[in-house]
Structure formats: structure tokens, C-alpha cells
Structure 1
């Protein structure tokens, strides 16, 4: 059984391609969206909504948005230990797998996981490592816009067509242009911005609030900042429906009120909206298409609900985009289709899916200028961006001087003519046979980029035929095999709260969050928490269920009155 997983910045989802098509599995709280949040308490690890509630009450023990750190060596301290982004992602994956196993009644060991189309080599390798740490064999990484196209059933449309998928999630932005013909889904171009998403629009709201109230954000306590972001997130979500929103929040002993309308929000977010233009225009150029040559525009990603996003797309393409699939679920639904393809589901056997390499991959070279001076630092492309994958390309390189004893192959990804502006993936030093003829003193460098977006580099000596394989030792974002084993053992030793306790944990976490937020009701909330903890100790399932429903009802009323 191969599941499809959308490992998102804000939310994550899991499902399969079954008898009735794509099916998403609910978590223990009955929701198919599981917040990508991890928290550590005195007795174990919480994931999802219970953890999200603790962002305010326990900010030093809770973390979100760690997908943006994938591929880096950044560590986050929660409780008495630190976690890398791969480990935090692995805990989310483990929670999703538990939900899938509860729904299927059988173990889940294989998965297709979606990644942003513009994820780098290191970020993709980190995602595979996260799957490995979660006990999964990652059968394929599928680009999110490609998955979204599969979710829309574009592969089932009769005839041919060209489609642009505009994917704005919580933390990343991707654009892909696909062509469909004879059961083939072929990606022609993918671009994007790994640091542009709904969280950035929330950031500009936070900054505007701080300016309006003469606040210095760095002076706020962690729980105060988390509380402010939560209230503003709620306001952002209601803007599209109501046209305006108001919040009240207590910060640094001050009761503060703030109102924002859709017009001001659009003004605040305009620089971010304009940043979306460049990737769209680049994708069109790379695909050699004009906007009028596209048959449909597909809008996905939770942040695409913002009115200014639809307005941008309508202005750029002169038409309304497709939005009939839930934008929060589109990528996950497509990931299940990709899982079905991988599992060779007979209903999908006529579909062929191709993708592209979103970055140019190459090496550093030196050039001899007209005055005889040797200048280093030039980028030499080997695999151009938007080459159809899998792809393998090679080129020959020679030493600059007869005295050279070795050549260094530096591997870079990027679009700048100078390597200083690109991302270095690694390097390999290869010896040169000093006695060989000049034409035998070179090397052949081969880059191979596979369907998962992972790069392999081989260097062959002309003189000896010996082949060297590149190990990306210089990338601090990658874990070695030994370290993966060590961290896997450490994660397995962590206690994870049982799935059947999630509803009770979420109720307690919500009550503790409200205790943090509502000063005037603290005595009442403390009584509710103590009473519910007492009921939990009784281990009477019916009594616990009754009290939990009553507690949620009381908290709903409290928040509605506030």
C-alpha cells in the first residue's frame, strides 16, 4: 500500500488512490488537515492541532513552519533536546502514517511525498531523509504543481491542452506549465519562490499592527507574539469574506484594538503580490508561450484564497482561474494519484507523467582573458533548467596549466553567470596523470538528475578511465548515513502520545491557550482544566467524552463572547 502525502508548511495531509479514486484520511480529531506543528511536553511529543494550541501557552516547547528550514542545518530546541527540520517533519509524517493505518487497518511503509517544484537538491534529500526517519520508503517525490494538476483530473480531459498551475501555499510559491496529450502529462516549465507564501502576508500584518501601536516586536514575549499572530491569522482569513476584520489583544499589559479592511491588506501585501509576477513570466518564457496560448489557469494552495491573488491572475491572463477543487487539498489529492501511478493501479495505467528540473545545474570554470590573465568563478551549465527528467548530460574539462596535478569539480545550482551568486552543492578533487598526453589530462563530468529531483555526479579520468562519484560533503543541510541511523534511534525512543488520546490532549491544550489569552476568565478556566483532568483520571470513556464535549462548548461560548 503506497500512500500519497502533502507535507506542507502550514498543514499536512495523507491519503490513497482507492476503489473510488482519491481518498484523504482524517486525523484523530476528524479533520483531513493536520497542522504541521510539533510540541514537546513532560511526557512526550504532540503533533497537529494539540501542538498548535500550545504555540501560545508553551512557545518555547512548540515549533511551526519548519518546512522552510529543510535542507539547512538549523536546529530547534524543544524541552531538553534539539531537533533538525528533518526530525520535526518526520514526526508529522509519523502522525499522518498513524492516521492512514487507523483508516486502512494495515501497516503503511511506502509513500509518495509532494515537494515544492522549486525545492533544491538539498531540500529534496532532506525530505527523503524525513521519510526514512518516519519509517517510510519514499517511492517518489512529486512536485506540488504537478500533483495539483493530477488532482484536477486534467489527465482525464479529452484532447490536448496547456495549463498553468499557480500554487501559493503557507510558505512556498510554485508555478508550473503543463501540456496534456494522449494520456501524457508533460511539464514544460517550473519556477517559484521557496520563501513566499501565506506566512509572509501574515508577517506584513504583524508589522503594520506593531507600527500602528508603536510596538517593538522583539520586545514582545514569545507567547505574546504567538497570540498576536493567531489573532491576525483569524482576521486575515475573514477579510476575504467580510471585507474587514477587527481584533482585540492584550500585549505588555495593554489592551489593544485594531481594525483592517481588505483595501489596506491589499496595499500591505502588494510588494508580495508583485513578487509573484517574475516566476510566472519566467515560466511562460521558458515554455515559449504567450498568456493567450494557455487553456486554463489552476489556482491551488490555501493562501491562493486571498482576493488579491485571484485579481493578479485575472489581470495577467485576462480570465478567471479554476478553483473547484479545495485549494488546501489539491496537492494531497494529486499525491494520491501519483501514488496510484507508482503502484501501477490499473485505472491509471494509461497515464504517463513527466516532470522537469527546475534549476540549472553546472560547475565552476576558469577563463583566460585577452590579456592572458586567468579569472575564476564562471558558471558553466551542464543541465539547463526545465530539462525533462530523468536527464543525464556530460561535458569535458581540462586543466588550465601543464603543472596542474588535479582538477576540482565544484557543483552549483542557479541561474547566475557567476558561481558566487548560485548555490554550491559540493565539490570533488580529481587527480590528473602528469605523464599523459594533453588530450588525456582532462575529465568527463556527468550530471544525472532523476524523477525525484535528486542529483548524481560522476567524474571520469580520461587517462585511466577511473570514475569518481561526488559526495556532497560541503552541504551542511545533509545528514550522513551514520547520523541518520543515530537520529532514527533517538526518534524511536521518544514517546508519542497515543492517537486515541488526541481529542483529550487537544481539549486541554485549547483550555491552556485560552487561559493564556483571557486574563479575566483565568479562575474559571483553571476550574475547567482541573475538573477535566480529574475526569480523565477516572478512565471512564463515556464520562470523558461527555465532559470533553461540554468543555468545548463552554470554550466556544467564551471565545464567541470575547
Structure 2
């Protein structure tokens, strides 16, 4: 049975599989490799995923949701239309289900197992939420692979080049940077850093604010449909400015037609604060690795946002070399996840590849910094520091702080703050000790972290030999009962047959166009939609591909003659 690789992205998601010919991308029902990570409901309350949902984002913003990967691990819930509330895990599960169906259609067999990529800087809670999403989608995940690591696997297999690589991964909603060294078939991660709330979406919103300020719109008070229309225009402008020095826009907000022009220089100027946020993780990763800028042999770009010329120019100036662009930055991570799937089943073609990784966050426990003083405070004691090569095992001796203490509770944290409460609490364990004066009893605390993200914590009371041990794995955030309940609820949601996806996507696109137009052009689109729906549902007409092609060409013609974005 095949194991697939999935890049579950903020903006787009991609699936790939390891084959005898190497990693191969899997097309969706529309024949495309990128599936927008967008979920919506149609008029019949059936779930739409991908392009069909994306094209309804402007017309039906209350029934459509995007960028929910940024909420993974939080308790945030959203309501689609008047229906049920959805957690980020459930929305992600709907995307994963769609990708799973695509893989099954392409490979001709049931798929139950996947390697899923996550941002390297996802914390324990966010990683567990991703596993919950996979469970809800009917997928077993043996391993979560860090996105830059997956990208390095794909690039390393593609180029067979050795040296020190910097992977610059700027997706729609997250940013990661990793330094990896490739030598004689061994790919070793030296350091990683990132920001899970920084990505291409933030550059889009910077453009959105420029338009809103120029036309005095007050984007915070716009109706949701107008805000969605403004955001879509900003995204189109961002893409246009990647290949042109200036771009014109035209959109209708509050019944008024707004027009203008944005230059690449203006876009870069308003993006400067975001550039400063990009540099901090970059500098941290290089500093943690102990390497010098001149020692970096190549820069690998990952994520669609790296297509922005300003990003490539920044990197070229900083490192004195042009980034590598041999592999499509939108699909690199999925290809690498497929390579990881091949490593899992240990395909003979991959027997000469060894992959190592690092612990992305510091792991430690809370201790009393100055016992027996009025201002005694708890602080984080690092035991395994971030960017330590894994697998790794480290120990620390601790002593009691109170007289007649009969137990020690060890709280396990993940994060970089000196204040424990500012870090992520992974869990805790307790060990009994003999009562005695403060400082007499000692315990040895050992943290062992493996390549699959499992942390084993062992505590030994030195005077008695008593031992407590617990393994904190990438397990679920939700309880088994909650998972079962939500799985059952998702199973009851109406999902249109996969073969209907191309027609539904075209109709969603036409509906969005209809919302934008007025007068005669709107009537033309309405007529085209009615004719298309009639023909596609006519059992006597079997050439559905021809009907869809003709309908799409008509929509293209209307869009070209109506909207300017050059």
C-alpha cells in the first residue's frame, strides 16, 4: 500500500507519491497540482474544497474560509453560513480528505498513511493539531517532516549537489529558514528558525492597506464581500508585480468603481517592516549553526511568496549569490515529503540517503532560581537547547527547595522564554522522595528526543533509586472521544462526488464573475451559466470536457474585456 507525501499549506496544498521513477506530483480533480487550502459551503450545504471554494470567497465570504492553518493548535472556531462551527483541525481535515481522494484516484488503491509536512517552527500543540486533522481525514501519520527538511530532500535528490544549503521557505502564512549540509548521501540539518505568523498573506495585506488608504475605505469597517474583493485584488497585484514594474487595478467597492496603479517600488516600500521580521529568524539560524555567510554554498527557495523579486534581491545582496530556482517553489515540499515516504518504506533507490534533523525549540523544565528568598521566582531551565542534532539525550541534577518535601513535580516546557508560563507546557510527571531538609534530596532528570519528535523524560531519585518515566509523543490534542465524535460529524457532511469538481469549480468562478458585473454583461454570464448547467446535466451529452472548455473560454473572454490588471 502506498504512503503519500502531503504539503498541507496555508494558501495551497500539494500531494505527491514515491514511485519507481522517483517522487511524482498527484493532480487534483481539475488536473492541477495546487489545491487552494480553502473550504466553503454551496447553496445545498455541500462542502467545497479548493478552487470551487476560492472562487466563492468574494461572493459568499460568510460561507467560505481560508488561511486557517495559522490557527492550528488554537481553540478558535468559525461558522460557515448558518451551519456548524468548525475547528482549524476539521477544516484542515476536509482539505486532507480531498487530497486523499485525489491520490486514490491517481494511484488506484486505498490510501491510509501519509507523511505530512509542517513548518519547522510549529510547536508541540500545532504539530498535534496537524495529527488530529490527519486522523479526522482517515489518515495515519507515522511522521511529520519539517518543511525545509522536505525541501532539502527534494532538492538533494534532484541535484545530487554537496555542500552547505540555506533553505528559505516563505509560504502563504508561515516562514522557515534552515541550514543543511549534504555530504556523501548524508543530509544533516544544522539549524532552523522561523515565524509561524509571517508569510505571503502579510505582503498581500500590505498592498490591501495601500489601496484602502488611497481610496479612504477604512478596510476594518468594510462589508465582508467588499473586504474579500479588496483582498483578491491585492493578491492579483502582488502576483502581477512579480513580473512587471507597475500594475493597474480596477474593483467595485460599496457600489463605486475604484481604479489606480501600484508600482513595484511602492510595494517594496510598504513591505519594509515585513523585511525586518524576515531577517530575525534568518540571523538566528545562521548564528545557531556556527557557520559564516561565506560558507553557504547555495540558497534554495521554497514557497510561492519567494517569487517576489524583492525577496530574491534581498537574498542575493545578503549572500552575494543568486538563489537556486531549478524546482518549482510551490511543489518542492510535497516532493520532499514523498521522498520521506520512500525513506520510510526504504525503497532501494534511496538506500544511500541518510537524513538527520534538529530539535527546533528548547526543551526544559521550571525551577526555582533563588530558593528561600522573598523574591523567589520560577525560571525555565534548558536541558536540550534548540537546534541540537537529534537523536539527543541530556541530563541535569536538581535538588529539593523546601523542608520536608515528599515529592517533586517536574513540568516539561518547550520554548525560548526564561519565564515558563511564556512557553508551551508539554506535560508533567511526579516522583516521590524521602522527607528531609531542603537541598538534601537530589534527582537526575534526563531528556531524550528522537527524530520522530518523541520526547522521553526520565526522573531518578538518587537516594532511593525510584524512577519515573514518560514519553511525550506527537499525540493528539483532542481526546479519543472528541476525535470519534468529530470524525462522525464530518462523515455526515455532504461532499459532492469528485468527478463533479471541474464543473463545480467553473460554476463557482462564473458566480464570482456575475457578482462583479452589471447590466448586459451580467445577463450574458447568467445565460452562459444556465446553458452550461443544462448541458452538463443532460444525459444525452457525453462530451463534458468540450462543454467545460467552451464555458471556460467564454469566461476568459469576459474577464479580459472587463478587468484591467497589467
TM-score, normalised relative to structure 2 = 0.93
Match of 2:331 in 1: 329
From 144, 156, 163, give the equivalent of 2:147.
144
Match of 1:348 in 2: 350
Match of 1:294 in 2: 296
For residue 267 of structure 1, report the CA deviation from its aligned partner: 0.4
Match of 1:11 in 2: 12
Counterpart check, 1:121 vs 2:120: no
Counterpart check, 1:368 vs 2:370: yes
For residue 378 of structure 1, report the CA deviation from its aligned partner: 1.2
Measure the CA separation in 1 of the matches of 2:121 and 2:321: 26
Measure the CA separation in 2 of the matches of 1:64 and 1:296: 33
Match of 2:550 in 1: 550
Q: Secondary structure at the match of 1:286?
A: helix
Q: Which range moves more in the overlay, 268-277 or 520-529?
A: 520-529
Aligned ranges 1:384-423 → 2 under 5 Å: 384-420=385-421, 422-423=422-423
Q: Secondary structure at the match of 2:242?
A: helix
For residue 442 of structure 1, report the CA deviation from its aligned partner: 4.5
Aligned ranges 1:226-375 → 2 under 5 Å: 226-368=228-370, 372-375=373-376
Q: Is the 8 A contact 2:121 2:195 kept in 1?
A: yes
Match of 1:382 in 2: 383
Match of 1:505 in 2: 504
Q: Which range moves more in the overlay, 17-26 or 37-46?
A: 37-46
Q: Secondary structure at the match of 1:271?
A: helix
Match of 1:172 in 2: 174
Q: Which runs of 5+ in 2 are unaligned?
A: none
Match of 2:87 in 1: 84
Match of 1:524 in 2: 524
Q: Is the 8 A contact 2:406 2:435 kept in 1?
A: no
Measure the CA separation in 1 of the matches of 2:471 and 2:374: 30
Distance 1:411 1:540, change over 3 A: farther
For residue 364 of structure 1, report the CA deviation from its aligned partner: 1.4
Q: Which range moves more in the overlay, 300-309 or 454-463?
A: 454-463
Q: Is the 8 A contact 1:86 1:129 kept in 2?
A: yes
Measure the CA separation in 2 of the matches of 1:131 and 1:448: 26
Measure the CA separation in 1 of the matches of 2:316 and 2:290: 20
Measure the CA separation in 1 of the matches of 2:158 and 2:180: 10
Measure the CA separation in 2 of the matches of 1:197 and 1:482: 35
- Residue-by-residue CA offset, 1:249-272 (whole Å, 9 max, x unaligned): 111121111210110001011111
Count of aligned positions? 556
Measure the CA separation in 2 of the matches of 1:354 and 1:43: 46
Q: Secondary structure at the match of 1:256?
A: strand
Q: Secondary structure at the match of 1:247?
A: strand
Q: Is the 8 A contact 1:155 1:185 kept in 2?
A: no
Q: Is the 8 A contact 2:535 2:541 kept in 1?
A: no
- Residue-by-residue CA offset, 1:27-77 (whole Å, 9 max, x unaligned): 111101111111122242111111111111221111111111111111111
Match of 2:209 in 1: 207
Distance 1:334 1:266, change over 3 A: same
Q: Is the 8 A contact 2:359 2:388 kept in 1?
A: yes
Q: Secondary structure at the match of 2:275?
A: helix
Counterpart check, 1:430 vs 2:464: no
Q: Is the 8 A contact 1:535 1:543 kept in 2?
A: no
- Residue-by-residue CA offset, 1:269-289 (whole Å, 9 max, x unaligned): 111112211111111111111
For residue 493 of structure 1, report the CA deviation from its aligned partner: 1.9
- Residue-by-residue CA offset, 1:412-470 (whole Å, 9 max, x unaligned): 222232334x3232443626445468777454434333323344545455547252538
Backbone CA RMSD of aligned residues: 2.2
Q: Is the 8 A contact 2:361 2:386 kept in 1?
A: yes
Measure the CA separation in 2 of the matches of 1:202 and 1:448: 42
Measure the CA separation in 2 of the matches of 1:495 and 1:216: 38
For residue 360 of structure 1, report the CA deviation from its aligned partner: 0.7
- Residue-by-residue CA offset, 1:471-500 (whole Å, 9 max, x unaligned): 89xx9x921222112111211222211110
From 130, 133, 138, give the equivalent of 1:135.
138
Q: Secondary structure at the match of 1:560?
A: helix
